[in-house]
Amino acid sequence: MKLLEFTSKGIYCSKADVYLDPWRGVKKAIITHGHSDHARWGSKSYITQIDNVPILKHRLGDISVTGKKYGDKFQINGVTFSFHPAGHVPGSSQIRVEYRGEVWVFTGDFKTQDDKISTPYEPIKCNTFITECTFGLPVYKWEEPKIVHGQINKWWAKNKSNGITSLLLGYSLGKIQRLLKNLDPEIGKIYTHGATEKMTEVLRAKIDFPKTNLITRDTIKKEIEGNLVLAPPAVLGSVWSRKLGITSSGYASGWMAIRGARRRRAVDRSFVLSDHADWDGLLSAIYSTECENVITTHGYTDIFAKYLNEKGLNAMSEKTEYEQETPETENTK
C-alpha cells in the first residue's frame, strides 16, 4: 500500500488530503520542524509538534497552526498521524502515518546524538522509512559532542587570554542554541547577533540558557574584546563583523569534517558539530525501524540508496525541494 507519494507540491497523503513538509502552499500541511526548507509560508493551515508552534509563528508570522504532543495520535479522513522526536532541533519531529495496519515514517531532518536541547531521537517501527541522508557517506562520523564543546571552550579561553574576540558561527535555529547551552560562561561574556538572539529568546521559554548580550549600535568595541560572539554564518567578512575588532572566527558544522569545506569557509577554526545524523546514525536509525522499504529524500540520495540495496534492503531515492544542504547553503537555516 502506497500511503505517501511525491508530488510537485510535496509529500502527499491522498487518503487524508494532507501534505508533509510541502514546498508549495497547500490546504493543510503537517510540519516536521522549523527550518525554512521544511516549513514554508503559504499554506492555509499547519499541524506540528507543540514545541514547534512558537518557532513556526516566529518564522512564518500570522498563520493558522495546531500543536500536538509527541505520541498523541490524531486522525484525518481515517488516516492516523502522530509526531515522534527527531532530535534535530528543538520541536523537531518524525511523522508517523498509519492506515489499515500499514505504517510509514517520514523523518524530516534528524540526528541520533543527544544535543541536550532537543527531545532525543526515538526509533519507530514501520513498513516504509522516508529518510534524509545529508551526511550519507562513510567519511562522516561524529565525535562525542562533549569533546567538541570542550574544544570550543578551550579555543575561547585561549583567545580571551590574548585579548582576541571569538566569533562563533552557526545557523540561528538549533545550532546556535546548542552552542550556547554548552559554552562556559565562567570564561567571559556571551554576545549575540540580532538574528540569533531573536530565535534564542523564542526558545528560552522551554530551555535554560546562559545569559546573552545583544550587540546593538550602542555596543562599544572595547566591551566585547576577549568575549565570545554568536552569529549566523552570513556575517563572516561583513561590515558588522569587522566592527567587532580583532577576532578569531570559528565555525561549527558537520561539513567541517571535509578539508575542502574548511578551506572554502575561510575561518580560523573549524568544529565538527552537526544537527544531522552521521553515517552510523543513519544506518542505526534505519535498522532500528525494522522496515522493508527505504526512501531517501535529500543529501547523498542515490549513493545511499544504492548502498542500502547492496545490503539487502529495498531502497530508492526521490527528488524533493528540501535544501540540498552544503557548507554554503547553511547560511539560510
In which band, very low, low, confident or very high, does the pLDDT at 303 lie, cut at 50, 70 and 90? very high
Positive or negative, the CA dihedral 53, 55, 56, 61 is: positive
Range name among 140-144, 167-171, 282-286, 328-332 with the lowest pLDDT average: 328-332
CB atoms within 10 A of CB 310: 9
CA distances for 326 relative to 198, 256, 330, angstroms: 24, 11, 6
Range name among 89-103, 176-190, 248-262, 293-307 with the lowest pLDDT average: 248-262
Summary mean pLDDT of the chain: 95
Instruction: Output the DSSP codes for 215-256.
Output: --TT--HHHHTTSEEEE-GGGTTSHHHHTT-SEEEEEE-GGG
CA distance 107 to 132: 7
Identify the three-state secondary structure at position 306.
Answer: helix
The predicted pLDDT at position 201 comes to 98
Q: What 8-state DSSP symbol labels residue 141?
A: -
Report the candidate in 157, 156, 152, 99 with the shortest Cα–Cα distance to residue 128: 99
Q: What is the pLDDT of residues 76-133, one digit of tens each?
A: 999 999 999 999 999 999 999 999 999 999 999 999 999 999 999 999 999 999 999 9
The H-or-E segment that residue 103 falls in is strand 102-106
The predicted pLDDT at position 325 comes to 52
CA distance 52 to 17: 22
Q: What is the pLDDT of residues 251-273, one digit of tens each?
A: 999 999 988 777 777 899 999 99
Task: Please report the domains of the chain, with CATH numbers, ordered by start residue.
Answer: 5-140+275-332 (3.60.15.10), 145-271 (3.40.50.10890)
Instruction: Using the predicted structure, report yes or no on whether residue 329 has a pLDDT greater than 70.
Output: no
Instruction: Using the predicted structure, report yes or no on whether residue 196 has a pLDDT greater than 50.
Output: yes
Percent of the chain predicted with pLDDT > 90: 92
The predicted pLDDT at position 20 comes to 99
Q: What is the mean pLDDT of residues 159-188?
A: 97
The predicted pLDDT at position 56 comes to 98
The predicted pLDDT at position 259 comes to 80
pTM of the model: 0.95
β-partners of residue 98 are 80, 103
Percent of the chain predicted with pLDDT > 70: 97
Q: What is the mean pLDDT of residues 267-292?
A: 98
Instruction: Using the predicted structure, report yes or no on whether residue 302 has a pLDDT greater than 70.
Output: yes
- What size, in residues, is the chain? 333
In which band, very low, low, confident or very high, does the pLDDT at 324 lie, cut at 50, 70 and 90? low
